[in-house]
Structure 1
Amino acid sequence: MGALPPLSPEQRRAALDKAAAARKERAEAKDALKHGLLSLREVFAGDSGSIRRMPVRALLASLPEIGKAKAQKILTEMEITESRRVRGLGVQQREHLLERVTPKG
């Protein structure tokens, strides 16, 4: 593959702004998950492109009582690759993840 075409300063600024907005949206979603303001089911049902590009590992690690190590363990147990993105999960994988991490009660 060839190199990317050079960007004008305006195009570069627009790309940087878009990337910053995506990072902010992902950070807000992870914070909302951490504090129980957003559920994993709502994330899966959403259509945000930046959240759909988030690694599943990072999404799981942001859930209450699940950190990086437990998220990795869940991915390994469910045979989901570490690099899998939210948009790459199948319907059954999503349902199994929801069953696995949703508190009973």
Structure 2
Amino acid sequence: MVTPSLTRAQRAEATRRAVALRRERASLLQNLGQGRENLQEVLERKDEVVGRIRVQTLLKALPGIGPIRSLRLMRQAGISERRRVTGLGPRQKERLLSLLSSSDRGTTHAQGSVRISV
């Protein structure tokens, strides 16, 4: 596949836009981990900031969820390890939220309307 030739100004604009999106994603993940964002609301968003995040990365941003637990939750919800948020179906989202809210076995942290067990 041949990439289209871009002018210097077009390349600079594309770079600025990509950097801005990366910063927004990083901020979103940080806010999610600090409880300022709600997982359910994040999953409902349709913008490219959220859509391009891998589900595992999103889960690992939550307090008390690391790489192993995120993969286990994804397998239980029937979600591929490489899936991005934009590729999740409504049932997968519901199942994931249900798994997170039903895992109350220990100390729980309020995460908006979703409760997460540590």
| Aligned twin of 1:98 | 97
Q: CA deviation at 1:86?
A: 0.6
Q: Distance in 2 between matches of 1:63 and 1:38?
A: 10
Map of 1:4-83 to 2, 5 A cutoff? 4-83=3-82
Q: CA deviation at 1:78?
A: 2.2
1:91 partner amino acid? P
Kindly report structure 1 stretches of 4+ aligned residues shifted beyond 3 Å. none
1:50 partner amino acid? V
Structure 2-normalised TM-score? 0.80
1:54 partner amino acid? I
Q: CA deviation at 1:67?
A: 1.3
User: Is the Cα–Cα contact under 8 Å of residues 52 and 87 in structure 1 kept in the other structure?
Assistant: yes
User: Is the Cα–Cα contact under 8 Å of residues 78 and 92 in structure 2 kept in the other structure?
Assistant: no
Please state which structure has a larger fraction of its residues in strand: 2
Q: Secondary structure at the match of 1:103?
A: strand
Please state which structure has a larger fraction of its residues in helix: 1
Instruction: Tell me the matched-pair count.
Output: 104
Q: Secondary structure at the match of 2:93?
A: helix
Q: Give the aligned CA root-mean-square deviation in angstroms.
A: 1.6
Where does the alignment leave 5 or more consecutive residues of structure 1 unmatched? none
Seq. identity, %: 35
Q: Secondary structure at the match of 2:10?
A: helix
